[in-house]
A = this chain, B = another copy of it.
Amino acid sequence: MKKNIAVVTGAGSGLGEQLVYALHARDYFVVLVGRDPAKLDKVSKRLRDNFLNIAIDISIKENVDTIFREVMAIDGVLDTVVHCAGEGVFAKVGAFDDHDLERVFSANLYGTILISQGALNAFGDRGGTLVNVMSTAANVAKAGESIYCAAKWGAKGFTESLRLETKGSNIRILSVYPGGMDTPFWDEASDMMPDTSTFMDPKEVAEIIIDNLRNKPSLQVTELTINRR
């Protein structure tokens, strides 16, 4: 029997890394997507087999086309695409420049749109599961996080519109809104590095997400908000 394939973006660290392990443990062939090849190598060293690393920037359409071309060449069935890549840019409005905007919108917003579109086209009529991992910042406004909120609210508006477009099809979409996790995300996000030791363990968050991918006969989870206890 052919293996089910799962694609994970942001696979080099944090929640993406943990999703890779969790999906691989459930017998998926896992495609690890991230910008830094060294990080992908480090993660996939723990897998031994049934994986493919693709080191690429997902904010450009041509690159996303490359990813799904490589995925379709694998001897397996594309079942699940988890878009987990994201980057925080935290500061008060006042000195944002073009580089800040490009940085905050690339993976968080452009990546969400392009990966979702690539997944949909690759799933075809057979269908599949798309998981868009956003943030609690997609649901509320936050002082000091205005452009990060912009990116996440945008990703949510896109995903909810896509849900309407795919209603009645075999495409399943799960939106995930996790609160702060104890991951390298915070290293580059802000000058004010928070104490992340009390934040959520990304391994636990990954387990919750995977658990909620199981379809029941009459229902599916469509939105999942996860906060620390």
Question: Which residues of A are in contact with B by a Cβ distance under 8 Å?
Answer: 60-62, 92-94, 96-98, 101, 105, 109-110, 113-114, 116-117, 120-121, 137-138, 141-147, 149-158, 160-165
Point out the residue from B61, B96, B105, B121 that lies within 8 Å of A94, measured CB to CB. Answer: B121
Tell me whether B150 and A60 are in contact (CB under 8 A).
Answer: no
Please, which residue of chain B has its CB at the minimum distance from the CB of A143? B164
The count of identical subunits is: 2
Tell me whether A98 and B153 are in contact (CB under 8 A).
Answer: no
Tell me whether B151 and A165 are in contact (CB under 8 A).
Answer: no
A92 to B60, CA, bound (A): 19
A151 to B156, CA, bound (A): 10
A48 to B138, CA, bound (A): 46
Tell me whether A146 and B158 are in contact (CB under 8 A).
Answer: yes
Please, which residue of chain B has its CB at the minimum distance from the CB of A152? B157
Tell me whether A163 and B151 are in contact (CB under 8 A).
Answer: no
Point out the residue from B149, B152, B156, B165 that lies within 8 Å of A92, measured CB to CB. Answer: B165
Which residues of chain B are within 8 angstroms of A120 by Cβ–Cβ distance?
93-94
Shortest CB-to-CB span from A167 to chain B, Å, is 8
**Given A141-B157, A141-B163: A96 and B121 within 8 A (CB)?**
no
Tell me whether A96 and B109 are in contact (CB under 8 A).
Answer: no
A107 to B145, CA, bound (A): 20
Tell me whether A164 and B142 are in contact (CB under 8 A).
Answer: yes
**Given A60-B98, A61-B98, A98-B61: A149 and B141 within 8 A (CB)?**
no
Which residues of chain B are within 8 angstroms of A160 by Cβ–Cβ distance?
141, 149
Shortest CB-to-CB span from A26 to chain B, Å, is 28
Tell me whether A150 and B141 are in contact (CB under 8 A).
Answer: no
A141 to B114, CA, bound (A): 18
A155 to B156, CA, bound (A): 12
A29 to B160, CA, bound (A): 42
Which residues of chain B are within 8 angstroms of A98 by Cβ–Cβ distance?
60-62
Which 8 A-B pairs rank lowest in CB-CB distance, beginning with the nearest? A153-B157, A154-B154, A141-B160, A146-B161, A150-B158, A149-B157, A143-B164, A150-B154
Which residues of chain B are within 8 angstroms of A154 by Cβ–Cβ distance?
109, 150-151, 153-154, 157
